[in-house]
Amino acid sequence: MGVPTPPVAPKFLGTAPALILESDKVPNASEGSKKIPGDPVFLMKKTIILSFCFSFLILESALWAQPAHNWNSPSEVVKQVKKKFSDLNSYKADFQIQTVSNKKSKNMRGVCLYKKGGRIRYQFSDPSGDEIVSDGKTLHIYIARLNAVGKQDLTLNKSNKSGPIFSSFTDEGLSRIFRKYHYKFDSIEQPQTSPKDGRKYFVLNLEQREKVGGFETMLLYVDAESYFIQKAVASDGRGKETTVEFSNIEINPDLEDGQFNFHISGNAKIVNNPLVSEQ
C-alpha cells in the first residue's frame, strides 16, 4: 500500500479561501473506482465546502462594512459637555429659532446672553421687541405684538416637565436634561462632518425616559473640538419641531447681572406660570 497523499493546502482566490480537500477530488484510475457525481457522500462534502466559502464571504463583507471604531462613546461626550458648561461663566451668541408645525414654518432670530446661575436673555430682532429673560429665579417671556408677559416662577416643582429648550444651553439645565432623557449617538459614524460649515459634530439622540409632555425627543449637535452645543432639534408628541442654532459665539464675555433683569411696563398683561403649575 502506497503512502497516503497529504491534503492540498488551501488556495486563495481574491479574498475568500477556496478550500479544496484531497478527499473531495475525483480519484484517478490508479486509486480505484471513480466517485460519480451522484454519490451522496461526494455531494455532501461539496455542499459543506461551498457553504463555508459563502458564509466566509458574507462575514468578510460585514466586517468591511463597519467603519473603524474611533473609541468615542455617548457617555464620554456627555461628560465633556457637562464639564464645558460647568467651567463656562458666560457666553454671547447670535441665535436662530425655527418652528415647524402642521407644515407651517416660523423663523426667529436675535442675540442671546448667558451667565452662570441660570441667567439668560434672548433679545429678538425678528419678531422685533420679543424677549425671553431669566435671572435664575423668575423667567419672563414677553410678546411685543400682544403686549403680554408670561411670568414663570422657576422655584415651582418641575419634576415632571421637560422644560424649555433653552435649558439645553445652560449648566443648570444640562444636568437635568441628561437625567430626564435616555441618550445615545444618532449614528455609528461619530463625529460627523457638517456639509454646512465643514466642522465636526457629535450628534446625540435624546428621548424622554417618561412621556410626560414637552419635548419627547431631542438631537444635540456638539462641536467635536469645543464640546459646545451648537444646535438642538426638539420634537413634541404633536409633531411640532423646534430648532435652535447658535453662531458667532463669544465665550466668557463680561456681563453685568443687571442685564438679566426684566422690567414690566405698566400696561402689559401678565400671565402667571404659563409653563408649569404647582401640580
The predicted pLDDT at position 266 comes to 81
Nearest to 81 by CA among 206, 245, 204, 181: 204
The predicted pLDDT at position 165 comes to 47
Domains of the chain: 91-272 (2.50.20.10)
The predicted pLDDT at position 264 comes to 85
Q: Mind listing the pLDDT tens digit for each residue in 57-71?
A: 333 333 333 334 455
pLDDT band at 72 (very low <50, low <70, confident <90, very high): confident
Q: Mind listing the pLDDT tens digit for each residue in 87-133?
A: 989 999 999 999 999 989 999 999 999 999 889 999 999 999 999 99
Does the model's pTM come out above 0.85?
A: no
The predicted pLDDT at position 230 comes to 93
Grid cell 398683561 is found at 269
Q: Mind listing the pLDDT tens digit for each residue in 210-246?
A: 887 788 999 999 999 999 999 999 999 888 999 999 9
The predicted pLDDT at position 177 comes to 84
Is the CA virtual torsion 22, 24, 28, 32 positive or negative?
positive
Residue 233 near residue 243 (C-beta atoms within 8 A): yes
pLDDT band at 39 (very low <50, low <70, confident <90, very high): low
Q: Mind listing the pLDDT tens digit for each residue in 163-217?
A: 454 555 566 667 778 888 999 999 999 999 999 889 999 999 999 998 877 889 9
The predicted pLDDT at position 20 comes to 30
Question: Over 70: is that where the pLDDT of 148 sits?
Answer: yes
